[in-house]
Amino acid sequence: MKLAWDTFVRFDAPDYSQEGIENFRKFVTDDTLRKMFLAGNYQLFVAIDADKCVGMLSLRERKHISLLFVDADYHHNGVASALIHFAGYYVANEEGFEQMTVNASPYAVGFYHRKGFYDLGVETVADGIRFTPMQLDLHRYKRK
């Protein structure tokens, strides 16, 4: 969660109100979230370089990207793309869903569009968190 917080502060927080920043901090430091990971309610995929975690993607409800963060030193090196690809394959073939969703931060909307996600609605603010609901159709990830 340190990777998520550090990356959020650098890239996402400038687009958020103080309320949104505080709510995100509470979310990534909340013991309930840790327990949900341990209980298997969230799946966590990580990208490792040597012994360092350089990227993370978590799923909730087996098909919704809850957290996707990449260490700043690894931006624009395909880490997030690889995590999306792996998660898309996992959601389509292991979980059996035809779509994967995300609530994209303003910073990440362009990235998700380039990966094939499309908007499900307009930008929304909830508890100070700004996001655009998006979806990716997973037909290209299905095993043939």
* pLDDT tens track for 102-135: 999 999 999 999 999 999 999 999 999 999 999 9
| Domain count of the fold of the chain | 1
What is the CATH classification number for the domain harbouring 57?
Answer: 3.40.630.30
Of residues 83 and 144, more confidently modeled: 83
pLDDT, mean over the chain: 93
- Quote the domain boundaries for residue 37: 2-141
Residue 71 identity = D
What pLDDT is stored for residue 30 in this prediction? 82
**Rounded to two decimals, what is the model's pTM?**
0.91
Q: How confident is the model at residue 46 (pLDDT cuts 50, 70, 90)?
A: very high
